[in-house]
Amino acid sequence: MLKYPVESGLYSPENEHDACGVGFVVRITGERTHDIVERGMQVLENMVHRGAEGADHKTGDGAGILVQIPHEFILLQGIPVPERGHYGTGLVFFPKIQSEADLCMELLRSILTADGLNLLAVRDVPVNSDILGEISRSNEPTIKQIVVTGPGKPEELERKLYIARKKVEKATAQSTLTEKRNFYVVSLSTQKIVYKGMLTSLQLREYFPDLTHPNFTSAIALVHSRFSTNTFPTWDLAQPFRLLGHNGEINTIKGNRFWMQARESVLKSDLLGNMEDLYPILQSGMSDSASLDNMLEFLVMAGKTLPHAMSMLVPDSWNETNPISDELKAFYEYHSTLMEPWDGPATLLFSDGRYVGGTLDRNGLRPARYLITNDNMMIVASETGVQSFPAEQIREKGRLKPGKMLMVDTETHKIYYDAELKKEIASAHPYREWLEKNRLKLETLTSGREVKNNLPNLKALMQAFGYSKEDIERLMIPMALEGKEPISSMGNDAPIAVLSDKPQRLFAYFRQLFAQVTNPPIDPIREELVMSLTAFIGSHQANMLEPNPEHCKVVKLKSPVVTNKEFDILKNIRYKRFSSVELPMLFPLSGGASALEKAVNNLCLKAEEAVENGHNYLILTDRGVNADMVAIPSLLAVSAVHHHLIECRKRMQIDIVVESAEPREVMHFALLFGYGASVINPYGAFAVLDDLVKNKEIQSDYETAEKHYIKSINKGLLKVLSKMGISTLRSYRGAQIFEAIGISSEVLKHYFEGTTSKVEGITMEDIARDAICMHQEGFAVDDPKSPQNNGVYSWRKEGELHAWNPETISRLQIAARTGSYEKYKEYVAAVDQKSHPIFLRDFLAFKGQKPIDISEVEPASEITKRFVTGAMSYGSISREAHEALAIAMNIVGGKSNTGEGGEDPVRFKKRADGTSVRSAIKQIASGRFGVTTEYLVNADELQIKVAQGAKPGEGGQLPGYKVDQIIAKTRHSIPGISLISPPPHHDIYSIEDLAQLIFDLKNVNPLARVSVKLVSESGVGTVAAGVAKAKADMILISGCEGGTGASPSSSIKHAGLPVEIGLAETQQTLVMNGLRGQVRLQTDGQLKTGHDIVVAALLGAEEFGFATSALIVLGCVMMRKCHLNTCPVGVATQNEDLRKRFVGRYEYLVNFFNFLAEDVREHLAALGYRKLDDIVGKTDLLEFMPKADNLKMQKLDFSRLLYKPAGDQAIRNVKPQVHDIFDIQDRSLISLSMPALEMQSPVQFVRDIKNTDRTVGAMLSGEIAKRYGYEGLADNTISCTFKGSAGQSFGAFLAKGVTFRLEGDANDYLGKGLSGGRIIVVPAEGTAYAPDSNIIAGNTLLYGATGGEVYINGQVGERFCVRNSGAITVVEGAGDHCCEYMTGGRVVVLGKTGRNFAAGMSGGIAYVLDEEGDFDFFCNMQMVELSLIEEMADNRELRNLIAAHYRHTKSPKAKHILENWDEYVEKFIRVIPIEYKKVLHDEKIEAVKKKIAQVEYDY
């Protein structure tokens, strides 16, 4: 039986994610009817695909509805309530155990009574438990409705009910109840009531018969269905909460919670009285959405209006790229000094019973569509089509835009649009004036003081702070020269910090977390408009509930990394009684660990004192390091002080500024900010720069070097933030988006609260010893050494160990080439019996049972079937290498992976010599390069790459000069044009999106299994559970050790976890959730030998991936120069001359894989098992072998890693996923199209369509591609008209020869991967509104389209034509980020566009009708050029496109334009990427040259 688990093994409930469908229906005029409730439930039911079900296929993750209090219905129940609004009511979940339930009731009653309230009635809410699934039933609460009366006006009573509920929560938390979660007040209000449970969308009405009662009426129905990554019975986490339904994820939640905790000490509210009663404001143990709801409710109860509170919590961006009023910018800036944003993708729908509205995060990462009818009904939902109306009845169709809000007042019957709402809140106070009067800008301050950058004892300090030669040469110099972080390649094969026998900086024990699946990372370059590093320091953050100009008495900094000069100013500001205090981060050398501990504690006390003395910020400094005083690791000092101040509720009153010689690389800065620092002055790094400039190592002046260095750090910070989908440093600060590896929980609990560590590790003693050891290198010798090369990036004899070293590389190459198993064993010896462990697996030995004879073990061919090669694109590696991998895998029965970048269709057929170069696995990465229907149907596995081990959360770029004819062809692009892979898949912003993409792919190719590639990090198991529920057939857990062709050095070294941890966590979580049986698990990450494979199998993997090792077999010598295209062995290059040096052969790989399989067989025989399947997940066969020779390693603890969940759930894949691709539209489309498919005779038909009909056309297109390849059928061979609202992915992968005409509207992802088909979207017949001013299709249309035509008579959402590489399209208005990353095709926009048009656009042309003359403001000019329509050819092309649009859609706007062509043609702007312009220009020149040549010839 599944129970809500406590933390066990590697699983932690903290990692749970959810996402969902949300919606509301409102009668604007406020009439309460049952119809609205009914419609609300229908909305939910029509988004059933956005929720999820558990392993028993009956348990939903949660569904609920918020309505106005159904007064008549309550009266009908015989409860003598007073008039509407004068009593409160709500549902309460009670524990099933009677004695506990009684206790709870008693507690409730006593609190209500004490607060002067009267529990008027308790009603047993009728429920239909029979329909529940096993999992949800296991923890079904007893549900009662309570009715409470009390004195005072409705608002006062509402507040009293709130306070009483908070008291109940607090009392429950402090009680002795065994199952505290089971006592939960769903809502308690005078205005609104929530019904919810662990239900599917369809179960809600059946479970609560109340909801179907005709007298159950409301003017508002806000609904929510949940898709959670877990399947544990958590009734309380269903939504809506008290005010909010949230679809999305709060990435900064950890920080937000800490800050709120800290803030509690300064809050005051006359309205709420004794604040202590309300604390904690954020109920613990709940989801991110629940915390946000708590926060919103608190602000509203404290007197903020809903729009005001919402705008504080989830502010729009307010930099210069956002066209909002200055007043509103001031509002946001003022509030940003009070509170950090709750950052992350979000559709937030809210209601207090009178108002109902919604808002979107600043980046618009969740969809929300609305519709208003002529009879004053409004529907807002994640999708359009959740309610259908006759076309004539619709007054308006629109969508919530990024950062924008919409609200309805059911009392005044008014719709408030964003502008009006924001104007009102922005003008409530003179925020601009307040800011100007109080807020200082650092860049405007100057001083006459001389500030030095050099340090007299630099050499000693560099040793003491552990500067290595590589730090300087590989990181700092490139940063100072180029202004950006350096790039490296291949993976990280050096030991993690705790396994190294060299002293380490504390920074080295931390790893960056990153977003995968449950929320999208951001592209900080192309979507810079939402990013911000602005920092404020200095305010006595008083009571944020009270508007006060003094709040913004702060210093504003553009960059949180400050120069010595700026720092000097900051230190000496005395403006408005500013004051700071310096606290030395030092401890005496002689005292060792205890001195360090004492010093840190003392620092905390001093910090507390500083608050009491009224200082604005404290400066933690290690300037005083000398022979006797050692620097406390800056991270330890910052985090300790930060957490201490939070704990004593004094953190809000003071800011932490760090002056340290320790931080030098991006990761160091990110950590210091992530653990609470506001500003950092890296004086040591500056002194090094100064020295390098003086020694001419950096050929520029100091100022330039410094500027570049800071710029690199800042850019790097943005990258680190965006990896987690966080857009502002203000919300990143203190959010602790890190995990530790190899630190003891004792240290973490004391100084890094909230940080997880899975395998235990170092204590304060080790930290002190390392600090002292480095210090001594600098101060205990006469003449400190120059920084040494520690071999972190490149191998050095005396440096850090590397798993790939001369011995292992050469032995492997020799073994594979000679085909000698003995030589292979020599290689194995070098890997398995290394002198010193490098990986966690090196600590794991097998507990042999009864060995069997090797002849009894399954043959090698059964084992090689489980092998795959890593995703390496043709482009990143040479054709020779790519094909050798494919041939070898096809021979041994494994699978090779195309990587991102398509595959030449020639390779789909066998070669004359019988070998096959077809890659069995076709990867679908965020760039969607070469992802055509044909590509997808020629696969055995379709792999969605969510993240890559070497650079999780980041995109990539193939520079134009690398894109030659053939690469361009396979990627369906143009030679010479840069190809950018965005950090996120633009169709996966959440888990339900992933489910949709899996569904899409299953439709195109039902025979291929769909896999999802994740990267090991804390919480990956939970993500994997969500992925399993999203119906992936296989999940790949990739280790952070994985390779790359090019990635920022900091990502290779500091992001992600070793594969052992991620794999074990995934296995444990899937087993605990009962989901393991339905998916296969694959793993990779520096697997090298049979031992590694068997360890991975025992930890839970069924399949195994090899990439670096395979390349080494083919000749790679780990140059780590892939990114320079200079691979001297012809593996990772496209250069003809270098490719000639390639000596690899597929036979070598065949040898290698057979050796590996034999090696596995030997282990199996020794373990006493016949089949690899028999050992999958059997962690009890693994034994932790402690290594005694190292003080740090002795402290490791693998018990959580080796934990095996109890119970009888499957521990390996035993059954297939059930994909819902049987009862779908396409099945009938295919049968109707048989004549076309079989005989190419044209067919035509008309069909109805609903939003639940998803991915229509994909399966049909798959059938076409199977038969006819990319060429498809003749134009219009299949022509189909649909009527209604199309579900997501309408016309996805539509093949050539198919025309889809949609009369109605469409949801997100229309035309995804369009492969030659034609889509026409027009409003339904009879539509009264003007099509060009209403929205007709959703977000992210034509994502990765390679060809075809799309004509849309109306506006569309964000990211239209993202990564389009060949489709031609006309649309009448688009949202933000239109044409993002586009590499080809034509886009015509006959109307307004949103912001950031053409970001990252490297190919194709867009024409935009710029009637208001302000298009340039909305266009991202980084890569494109704007011009008028000057050339005749362009004029003609544009006119033809619009004419075609008119022909297909009868668009009135198109008609008007065509009729007034000469007038309109001048209003068009032509957007052309600079690179593309050059290509076109070159083509023209080439053509002219040819002509000239011919002319001369004739002459």
Partner 1 sequence: MGNPKAFLSIDRKEAGYRPVHERKTDFGEVEQTLNNEDRMLQASRCMDCGVPFCHWACPLGNKMPEYQDLVYKGKWKQAYEILAETNDFPEFTGRICPALCEKSCVLNISHQAVTIRENEASVTERAYNEGWIVANPPKTRTGKKVAVIGSGPAGLVAANRLNKMGHEVTVYEKFPQVGGLLRSGIPNFKLNKSVIDRRIGLMEEEGVRFVTSAEVGKTVSLKEIKSSSDAVCITIGSGVARDLPAEGRELKGVHLALEFLSQQNLSLAGLPIEGEAINAKGKRVLVIGGGDTGSDCVGTSNRQGALEVTQIEILPKPPVGENPQTPWPNWPNVLKTSSSHEEGCIRRWCLTTKRFIGKNGQLTGVEIAEVEWNTDPATGRFTMQETGKTEIIKADLVFLAMGFVHPEHEGLLDELTVSYDQRGNVSVGSLNESSVKGVFAAGDAVSGASLVVRAMASGRQMAEAVNDYLKK
Q: Is there a contact between 702 and 678 (Cβ–Cβ < 8 Å)?
A: no
Q: Which of 214, 284, 175 is nearest to 36 (CA)?
A: 214
Q: State the nearest-atom distance from the C-beta of 694 to partner 1, in Å.
A: 15
Q: Where are the alpha helices (DSSP H) in 1104-1191?
A: 1108-1113, 1136-1139, 1146-1167
| Contact positions with partner 1 (CB under 8 A) in 1141-1170 | 1141, 1143
- Please tell me whether residue 796 binds partner 1 under the rule CB under 8 A: yes
- Full 3-state SS string of 962-1005: HCCHHHHHHCCCCCCCCEEECCCCCCCCCHHHHHHHHHHHHHHC
Q: Does 780 bind partner 1 (CB under 8 A)?
A: no
Tell me which stretch binds partner 1 (CB under 8 A): 582-590, 983-991, 1131-1139, 1325-1333: 1131-1139
Q: Is 793 in the site for partner 1 (CB under 8 A)?
A: yes
Answer yes or no: 1122 catalytic.
Answer: no
- 826 touches 815 (CB < 8 A): yes
By the 8 A CB rule, do 1037 and 1082 touch?
Answer: yes
Cβ proximity to partner 1: between 804 and 1360 the closer is 804
By the rule CB under 8 A, 1129 interacts with partner 1: yes
| Separation CA 376–CA 373 (nearest Å) | 5
Of the candidate residues 14, 134, 396, 473, the single one contacting partner 1 (CB under 8 A): 473
Among 273, 624, 806, 848, binds partner 1 (CB under 8 A): 806
Q: Which of 481, 1037, 1097, 1138 binds partner 1 (CB under 8 A)?
A: 1138
Q: Could you say which of 319, 1126, 1199, 1427 contacts partner 1 (CB under 8 A)?
A: 1126
The CA–CA distances, whole Å, from 1229 to 1239, 1270, 1271 equal 16, 20, 20
Q: Which is nearer to partner 1, 490 or 1201 (CB)?
A: 490
- From candidates 209, 851, 859, 1128, binder to partner 1 by CB under 8 A: 1128
Within 452-471, the residues that bind partner 1 by CB under 8 A are 469
Helix (H) / strand (E) element for 656: namely strand 655-659
In the complex with partner 1, the residue whose CB is nearer, 1124 or 1474, is: 1124
Residue closest to 1090 by CA, chosen among 843, 890, 867 = 867
Q: Name the E strands within 1007-1159.
A: 1009-1015, 1034-1038, 1047-1048, 1080-1084, 1103-1106
Which two structure tokens, joined as six digits, stand for 650? 């004094």
Q: Which is nearer to partner 1, 782 or 1223 (CB)?
A: 782
CA distances from 480 to 484, 697, 747 (A): 8, 10, 35
Q: Considering the complex, what minimum distance in angstroms separates the CB of residue 789 from partner 1?
A: 7
- In this complex, which beta carbon is closest to partner 1, that of residue 485 or of residue 1103? 485
From 964-972, 1134-1142, 1334-1342, 1437-1445, give the range in contact with partner 1 by CB under 8 A. Answer: 1134-1142
- Min CB(1068)–partner 1 separation in Å: 35
Residue 1137 or residue 1208: which is nearer to partner 1 going by CB? 1137
Q: How far is the CB of 829 from partner 1 (least distance, A)?
A: 17
User: Please, what is the minimum distance in Å from the beta carbon of residue 1131 to partner 1?
Assistant: 12
User: What's the one-letter identity of residue 882?
Assistant: H
- CB 477, min distance to partner 1, A: 10
Chain centre to alpha carbon of residue 328: 29
Residue 782 in the binding site for partner 1 (CB under 8 A): yes
Quote the crossing angle between the two packed helices 306-313 and 418-426, to the nearest 10°. 90
Nearest-angstrom CA–CA distance, 1481 and 624: 62
Active-site residue, from 20, 1280, 1379, 1419: 20
Whichever of 1129 and 1389 has its CB closer to partner 1, that residue is 1129
Hey, is 1423 helix, strand or coil? Answer: coil
Piece of 969-977, 1132-1140, 1170-1178, 1411-1419 that binds partner 1 (CB under 8 A): 1132-1140
Looking at the Cβ atoms of 558 and 785, the one nearer to partner 1 is 785
Within 814-843, which residues bind partner 1 (CB under 8 A)?
A: 814, 817
Q: Which two tokens stand for residue 605?
A: 């006390």
| CB of 1120 vs partner 1, minimal distance in Å | 3
Binding mask 1079-1118 for partner 1 (x = CB under 8 A): --------------------------------------xx
Number of residues that bind partner 1 (CB under 8 A): 34
1246 near partner 1 (CB under 8 A)? no
Task: Kindly state the smallest distance separating residue 1023's Cβ from partner 1, in Å.
Answer: 32
Eight-class DSSP state of 652 = G
Place of tokens 């007709």: 1336
CB–CB of 1336/1305 below 8 Å?
yes
Tell me which amino acid residue 736 is: Q
Which has the closest alpha carbon to 1346: 1388, 1299, 1293, 1298?
A: 1293
Choose one: 352-360, 733-741, 798-806, 944-952; the region binding partner 1 (CB under 8 A): 798-806
Give the nearer residue to partner 1 in terms of CB position, either 481 or 586: 481
Least separation in angstroms between CB 903 and partner 1: 29
Q: Is 1220 exposed, middle or buried (0-12, 13-18, 19+ CB in 10 A)?
A: exposed
User: Of 111, 129, 127, nearest to 119 (Cα)?
Assistant: 111
Minimum distance, C-beta of residue 474 to partner 1, in the bound complex (Å): 8
Taking the least distance from each CB to partner 1, the nearer of 514 and 824 is 824
- Candidate ranges 391-399, 737-745, 1133-1141, 1471-1479; the one touching partner 1 (CB under 8 A): 1133-1141
The DSSP secondary structure of 790-808, one letter per residue, reads --SSS--TTS---SS-HHH
**Do residues 1324 and 1343 lie in contact, with contact meaning Cβ atoms separated by under 8 Å?**
no
Closer residue to partner 1, CB minimum distance, 806 or 1235: 806
Interacting residue with partner 1 among 308, 401, 1091, 1120 (CB under 8 A) = 1120
694 binds partner 1 (CB under 8 A): no
Cα 241-244-250 angle, rounded to 5 deg: 100
d(CA 1014, CA 516): 7
User: Residue 1118 CB, nearest distance to partner 1 (Å)?
Assistant: 4
Binding to partner 1 by residue 937, rule CB under 8 A? no
Which one, 393 or 1135, has the nearer CB to partner 1?
A: 1135
Determine if 1250 is a binding residue for partner 1 (CB under 8 A).
no
Q: What is the DSSP letter of 1227?
A: H
User: For partner 1, what does the binding mask look like between residues 480 and 499, x meaning CB under 8 A?
Assistant: ----------x---------
Contact between 695 and 672 under an 8 Å Cβ cutoff? The reply is no
Of 794, 915, 957, 1190, which lies in the binding site for partner 1, with binding defined by CB under 8 A? 794
The H or E element containing residue 1483 is helix 1474-1498
HSE-CB for 913 with a 13 A CA cutoff:
4
Could you tell me where the DSSP H helices lie in 1114-1233?
A: 1136-1139, 1146-1167, 1225-1232
Whether the Cβ atoms of residue 1013 and residue 871 lie closer than 8 Å to each other: yes
Q: Which is nearer to partner 1, 939 or 1129 (CB)?
A: 1129
> Which range, of 703-711, 720-728, 799-807, 953-961, touches partner 1 by CB under 8 A?
799-807
What is the end-to-end Cα distance of the chain in Å, rounded?
90
Q: In angstroms, give the least distance from the CB of 1051 to partner 1.
A: 17
Out of 75, 419, 906, 1124, point to the residue binding partner 1 (CB under 8 A): 1124
- Residues within the interface to partner 1 (CB under 8 A): 469, 473, 490, 782, 789, 793-798, 802, 804-806, 809-810, 813-814, 817, 1117-1121, 1124, 1126, 1128-1129, 1135, 1137-1138, 1141, 1143
User: So which residues are the catalytic ones?
Assistant: 20
